[in-house]
């Protein structure tokens, strides 16, 4: 008897392949339409949300005339003026001085020339870099501290019988219930008395304490999700509880740690009110600095935009570095790992 092949089967396997799911709920027409609509909506939303960022990025490279032009210029001649102004202190030149300076233009280096085109003379470096460095130090240290302490507290709350556990947890959460601005003045007075005013350590302490309530609660949720049996296994395998915590619990809590880190970092990085009140020179961070740029030589939109852009970059880097953990992490363990 002749061997008969089913042409339908052949055609199907050649044209479509069989590597993807053929479940009805994944390939049905309605499902695909819904998916298309969802993706379109997501792309549009992302576009909409990125307009301010794009605007900021563009403005950072515009000369002042372009920055305030109406209608706004989408196409423009990029300039480094904003960046140079950001990193320098300058004095505004009157016509006579400007003319004199232009005469010896060959003696100037490239950034001085660009400043001159904007009608300003560079007098020295600005404080922006110091302030940004302060931000990195303060936000970074307080985040590491808050997450590290939060991890230990969350582990203890999750695993041990703590006397008055729910009261303690509520107390920790209650520190978030008061708007922080309300306590700015008392803290200001406390800090001046204790000599913590305008110190790195002062702000690090404050941000750590504020973030602890967040980290303890978030991380406790993640810890509760990790079965105790893993530590039990590690302990009978010959490890102490602390070793078990380090070698078995921490690696599994990594998504939670990543999500918590990003949340605390963003809070500490963006904090404005306390930074403004509790620092003046030495420990001042970037957020209170950027608005002060406005004061010099009129509204230097390019400089402000460049400053904001620089302020954005560190958070973007951290978030990007942790992105593979975040998607699972921010669902707060709703999905079983």
Partner 1 sequence: MAQIELKQVAKKFGDVYAVQPMDLTIQDGEFVALLGPSGCGKTTTLRMISGLEAVSSGQILIDGQDVTWNHPSARDIAFVFQFFALYPHMTVRQNIAFTLEAQKVPKAQVEKRVFDVARLLQIEHLLRLRPKALSGGDRQRVTLARALVRHPKAFLMDEPLGALDADFRATMRAEIKRLHLAQHATTVYVTHDQIEAMAMSDRIVIMSNARVQQIGTPAQVYYDPANLFVARFIGSPGMNLVKGRYTNGMVQLPGANQLPLPERWQAAIANQLSSEDVVLGFRPEAAKISADGVLNTQVYASALHGAYAMLHLALDGEKGETMTHVRAAKNTIYPIGTPLRFDLDPQMVRFFDPKTELALTLA
Quick one: three-class SS letters along the chain? CCCCCCHHHHHHHHHHCCCCCCCHHHHCHHHHHHHHHHHHHHHHHHHHHHHHHHHHHHHHCCCHHHHCCCCCCCCCCCCCHHHHHHCEEEEECCHHHHHHHHHCHHHCCHHHHHHHHCCEEEEEECCHHHHHHHHHHHHHHHHHHHHHHHHHHHHHHHHCCCCCHHHHHHHHHHCCCCCHHHHHHHHHHHHHHHCCCCCHHHHHHHHHHHHHHHHHHHHHHHHHHCCCHHHHHHHHCCCCHHHHHHHHHHHHCHHHHHHHHHHHHHHHHHCCHHHHHHCCCCCCCHHHHHHHHHHCCCCCHHHHHHHHHHHHHHHHHHHHHCHHHHHHHCCCCCCCC
**Residue with token string 């957020």:** 287
Footprint on residues 240-259 left by partner 1 (CB under 8 A): 240, 243, 247-248, 251-252
With respect to partner 1, which residue has the nearer C-beta, 188 or 230? 230
Q: Does 232 bind partner 1 (CB under 8 A)?
A: yes
234 binding partner 1? (CB under 8 A): yes
Q: Work out which of 34, 237, 317, 321 binds partner 1, going by CB under 8 A.
A: 237
Q: How far is the CB of 232 from partner 1 (least distance, A)?
A: 5
Are the beta carbons of 259 and 325 closer than 8 angstroms?
Answer: yes
CB of 234 to partner 1, least distance (A): 7
Footprint of partner 1 on residues 119-158 (CB under 8 A)? none
325 touches partner 1 (CB under 8 A): no
Closest contact distance (angstroms) between CB of 230 and partner 1 is 6
- Stretch near partner 1 under the rule CB under 8 A, chosen from 72-80, 101-109, 177-185, 223-231: 223-231
Taking the complex as a whole, how short is the minimal distance between the CB of residue 159 and partner 1, in angstroms? 12
Selected from 72, 78, 227, 291, the binder of partner 1 by CB under 8 A is 227
Which of these ranges, 40-48, 191-199, 233-241, 262-270, lies near partner 1 under the rule CB under 8 A? 233-241
Shortest distance, CB of residue 251 to partner 1, whole angstroms? 4
Q: How far is the CB of 332 from partner 1 (least distance, A)?
A: 19
Residue 90 and residue 121 in contact, taking contact as beta carbons nearer than 8 Å? yes
The site that binds partner 1 (CB under 8 A) totals a number of residues, namely 18
CB of 229 to partner 1, least distance (A): 4
CB of 211 or CB of 255, closer to partner 1: 255
Q: Which of 87, 111, 188, 230 binds partner 1 (CB under 8 A)?
A: 230
Chain residues binding partner 1 by CB under 8 A are 227, 229-230, 232-240, 243, 247-248, 251-252, 337
């Amino acid at each position: 008897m002749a061997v008969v092949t089913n042409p339908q089967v052949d055609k199907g396997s050649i044209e479509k392949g069989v590597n993807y799911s053929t479940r009805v709920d994944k390939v049905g027409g309605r499902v695909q339409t819904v998916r298309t609509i969802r993706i379109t909506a997501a792309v549009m939303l992302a576009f909409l949300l990125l307009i301010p960022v794009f605007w900021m990025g563009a403005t950072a490279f515009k000369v002042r005339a372009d920055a305030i032009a109406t209608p706004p210029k989408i196409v423009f001649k990029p300039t480094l003026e904003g960046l140079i102004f950001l990193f320098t202190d300058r004095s505004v030149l009157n016509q006579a001085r400007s003319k004199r300076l232009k005469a010896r233009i060959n003696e100037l280096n490239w950034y001085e020339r660009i400043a001159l085109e904007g009608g300003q003379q560079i007098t020295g470096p600005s404080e922006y870099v110091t302030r940004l460095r302060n931000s990195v130090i303060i936000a970074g240290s307080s985040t590491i501290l808050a997450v590290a302490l939060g991890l230990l507290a969350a582990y203890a709350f999750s695993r041990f019988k703590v006397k008055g556990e729910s009261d303690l947890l509520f107390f920790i959460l209650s520190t978030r219930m008061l708007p922080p601005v309300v306590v700015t003045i008392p803290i200001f007075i406390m800090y001046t008395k204790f000599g913590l005013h305008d110190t790195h350590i002062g702000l690090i302490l404050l941000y750590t304490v504020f973030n602890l309530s967040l980290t303890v609660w978030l991380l406790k949720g993640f810890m509760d999700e990790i079965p105790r049996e893993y530590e039990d296994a590690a302990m009978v395998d010959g490890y102490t509880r602390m070793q078990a915590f380090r070698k078995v619990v921490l690696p599994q809590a990594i998504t939670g740690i990543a999500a918590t880190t990003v949340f605390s970092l963003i809070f500490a990085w963006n904090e404005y009110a306390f930074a403004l009140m509790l620092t003046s020179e030495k420990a001042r961070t970037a957020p209170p600095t950027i608005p002060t740029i406005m004061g010099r030589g009129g509204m230097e939109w390019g400089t402000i935009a460049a400053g904001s852009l620089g302020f954005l970059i560190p958070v973007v880097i951290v978030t990007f570095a942790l992105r593979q953990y975040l998607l699972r992490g921010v669902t707060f363990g709703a999905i079983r790992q």
